[in-house]
Structures are given as C-alpha cells and as structure tokens.
C-alpha cells in the first residue's frame, strides 16, 4: 500500500508541472468603463475600446449624470479614477429607462454635431 501512495503522489506532482500558465481573468475582459456602458445599453458590446472611452467621457460630462454622481458620491472622493468610474456606474444605475434613453440620444447628438463643428472652424 505504501507503493501506491508514492506512485499516486508522483503522478499528481507530474500533473501540476504540466499545467499551462494561467492567463489572468482581467486580461480577457473589457475595461470597466466599457462594461458599464454596455450594461446600461449606451453602447454595443463590439464597440472598440477607444470609441467606448470617448462615449464614457461624454456620459461623464452630461449634466444629468454629473448631478446624480454628486448625489451618489458627495465631496472630493472622486479624485481617483476608480471612484469616478464607480460613481458614474452608480449614477447610471439610478437612472430610469427613460432617462437612459434620453442620455443615449444626447450622446448620439453630440457625436453627430462634433464633426460639423470642426468643419465650421
């Protein structure tokens, strides 16, 4: 019986050495701002990360979102980027479907108007 235990532990040891290196889960997922926007239906899941960040900046600049964000996280707590993302996510979560739809329309309107304003200059 002592032999089987030794063989078993040797096999187990070999198996552990043959494991491929694990990829950290966070390397496979989109950035938090992308997930936040997808969750609330403000962007499509396949939108590029750089385009999603542009949308996130517009969402954060929206007066309605800023107002809700201040209610969620009062004070100077938003100096850190994760706190800003969290406060924005919480503000979006507190919005009704109608408010989210109105926000989506405002963001799309800004995206259409921005190239036109550049042409005027």
- pLDDT tens figures, 54-87: 999 999 999 999 999 888 766 655 566 677 888 8
3-state SS class at 59 = helix
pLDDT attached to residue 30:
83
φ, ψ of residue 118 to 5 degrees: the values are -65, -35
51 part of a folded domain: yes
Split at pLDDT 50, 70, 90, the class of 109 is confident
Determine the structural domain holding residue 106 and report its residue range.
29-120
pLDDT beyond 60 at 1 = no
Q: Quick check: is 20 in a domain?
A: no
Residue percentage of the chain with pLDDT more than 70: 61
Q: Identify the band that residue 29 occupies on the pLDDT scale cut at 50, 70 and 90.
A: confident
Q: Would residue 50 count as lying in a domain?
A: yes
* 12 domain-assigned: no
What's the structural domain count of the chain? 1
CB 99 within 8 A of CB 64: yes
Whether 1 is in a domain gets the answer no
65 in any annotated domain: yes
- 56's tokens: 């996130």
């Amino acid at each position: 019986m002592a032999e089987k235990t030794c063989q078993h532990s040797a096999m187990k040891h070999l198996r552990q050495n043959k494991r491929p290196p694990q990829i950290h889960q966070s390397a496979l997922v989109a950035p938090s701002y992308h997930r936040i926007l997808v969750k609330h239906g403000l962007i499509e899941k396949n939108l590029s990360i750089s385009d999603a960040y542009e949308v996130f900046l517009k969402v954060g600049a929206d007066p309605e979102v800023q107002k809700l964000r201040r209610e969620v996280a009062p004070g100077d707590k938003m100096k850190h980027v994760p706190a800003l993302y969290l406060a924005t996510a919480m503000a979006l979560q507190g919005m009704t479907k109608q408010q989210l739809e109105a926000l989506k329309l405002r963001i799309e309107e800004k995206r259409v108007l921005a190239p036109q304003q550049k042409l005027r200059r």
